[in-house]
Every structure is written in structure tokens, then in C-alpha cells.
Amino acid sequence: MIPKKSLGQNFLTSIPARINIVNAGELTKNDFVLEIGPGRGFLTRGLLDSGIKVVALEKDRDLIPILSETFASEIKSGQLTLIEGDVLLFEPSDYKLLANGYKLIANIPYYITGAILSRFLSHKNSPSKMVVLVQKEVAERVVARDKKESILSLSVKVYGEPKLVYRVNKGSFNPIPSVDSAVLQINNISRKNFKNQYQEEIFFKLLHAGFAHKRKFLISNLLEVFKENKNREEFQKLFEDLKISEKVRAEDVPLDLWLQISSFLLK
């Protein structure tokens, strides 16, 4: 199989990386795992050897016969369910993958990393844990390694607890990508930070407003979008109560304060 650039195929070949990914899943014998993009089945083999059940979703129809032959016995026994499909259209409940009832472990296509994280973290049937192999810079941005938040980092943290657990050299793939990668673990996934769906919508509207102009002060960005909801004096009073400087920028505001601002906008 020649990897397809159009599908972002960079097949994992490193056994140490595979071991670290599987270990980061903290698997027990009763676990169900959703694997996105099994490719040639390298990570799939490591997951199956753990004794758990796997639902593997592959978009590339040319890989389906290869995977079907490689894992014929596991498919026959019911340990592996192989599906041809698009991850962005996939409905977990169709395969009895219900909220907090499975883990997502995968070497995901890098060009849709954000879309995959968003879809599964916010899905009503979200996994209890995600372990994904992503670009190293993306993983570092999610955990805000430089202490600077972003829309991406806050969008992940509002649903779970991200952790960079292992760095993977670009030589661990075929073909070799241009950047190094990292294993990102997201634990304790839930919607507990939101009182209702409306607050969830307001929270993300708030984030996009706050980061719309990175060099402008946060309060100025928010007034541009929410001036019909709250005036400057109300925002100033809120910032004073929350002990937020009026000269703070969005990247310097932690998650708990974003959530308090979103609650303020609900009133």
C-alpha cells in the first residue's frame, strides 16, 4: 500500500511508540476502544493484544481488504469490528459506544486533528478518555506548555484534562512526516463545566470573540461582540470582581475565569 497524502496517511512503525500509546490508554479487560484510521493495523495489533474489544474506523477502502485479512480471526471472534467510513460522519451510538463507555485511541490524520477533537469531546456520546497521536506543536499548544492559552487549549480543557505523555520522533512513521509528533492524553471527559447547552454555545462564542484580535485587550474584544448584552461599565465591574486586569489579553486568562465570564453573559 502506497500511503495517500490526500488522507494524511503517515503509518506508525515504532514499537516503543505503540507501547506508550497503549499504556497511555490505561486499558482494562472490559474496555471498548474506538480506533480512527487503523491504516495497516500496526496500532490495532497492540490494542488487540491487550485483550480488549476494538471498533476500527477506516476511510480508505483500499485498506479494508488488507485489514480484513490481517485480523480475520479477531473479526470472526467479535474482538474487532472493522468499519469503512468517515470519522466526521461517524455516530458512536450506532456501534453501542455510549457516553463514557469507551476510549478513543488513535494515530489520527493531522489535517483534521481539530475537527476530531471538537467532534468527540463535545459529542453527547463522548469517550471517557482520548489518547491521540498528533503533531508535537499541537500537543504543546493544547496543554499550553508556554503558559499561553489558545482557542484550542481552552476548547479541550473545558471538556477534559489534557496531558502530553510521550514524544514521537518523525522517523517513527512511513512516510516520514516533516514534523515530530506527540501522544496527547485527555482524561475525565465530560460536560460538567456547562450548566446547559446555551452556556456551552455562549462559551465558544466568548472564546472566538476574545481571541479575535490577539494584540487587543480582552475587554475591548468582548465589547465588540457583546455590547448589546453588556455595557463597558458592567464588564469593568465583572473584571474588578474577578480580579482581572483591564489590560489582560485573552491568552493570559485561565479556563475558570472564561467560565465565570460565560456565566455572567447568561444573566
Q: What is the pLDDT of residue 6?
A: 61
pTM (two decimals): 0.93
CA 232 to chain centre: 35
Instruction: For residues 82-87, give the mean pLDDT.
Output: 96
Average pLDDT over all residues of the chain: 94
User: Amino acid identity of 110?
Assistant: Y
Q: What is the pLDDT of residue 1?
A: 66
For residue range 183-240, what is the model confidence (pLDDT) as tens digits?
A: 999 999 999 999 999 999 999 999 999 999 989 999 999 999 998 889 999 999 999 9
- The domain limits of the chain are 5-187, 197-266
**Could you give phi then psi for residue 163, rounded to 5 degrees?**
-150, 130
For the cut 90, the answer to whether the pLDDT of residue 158 exceeds it is yes
Q: What is the pLDDT of residue 257?
A: 97
Q: What is the pLDDT of residue 168?
A: 97
CA 261 to chain centre: 24
For residue range 50-64, what is the model confidence (pLDDT) as tens digits?
A: 999 999 999 999 999
For residue 226 the three cell numbers come to 457583546
Instruction: For residues 255-267, give the mean pLDDT.
Output: 94
Mapped onto helix, strand or coil, the DSSP state of residue 215 is: coil
Residue partners of 60: CB distance under 8 A and separation at least 6: 4, 7, 9, 39
Q: Does CATH number 3.40.50.150 belong to domain 5-187?
A: yes
Question: Is residue 183 a contact partner of residue 21, using CB atoms and an 8 Å limit?
Answer: yes
Confidence grade of residue 102 (pLDDT, cut at 50, 70, 90): very high
DSSP state of 5: G
Share of the chain above pLDDT 90, in %: 89
Q: What is the pLDDT of residue 250?
A: 97
Q: How many Å apart are CA 189 and CA 158, to the nearest integer?
A: 9
Instruction: Quickly name the fold that domain 197-266 has.
Output: Helicase, Ruva Protein; domain 3 (1.10.8)
Q: Which of 106, 17, 120, 22 is nearest to 56 (CA)?
A: 106
Q: What is the pLDDT of residue 267?
A: 83
Q: What is the pLDDT of residue 3?
A: 65
H or E element at residue 107: strand 103-107
Which one has a higher pLDDT value, 174 or 118?
Answer: 118
Q: What is the pLDDT of residue 199?
A: 94
For the cut 90, the answer to whether the pLDDT of residue 7 exceeds it is no
Confidence grade of residue 78 (pLDDT, cut at 50, 70, 90): very high
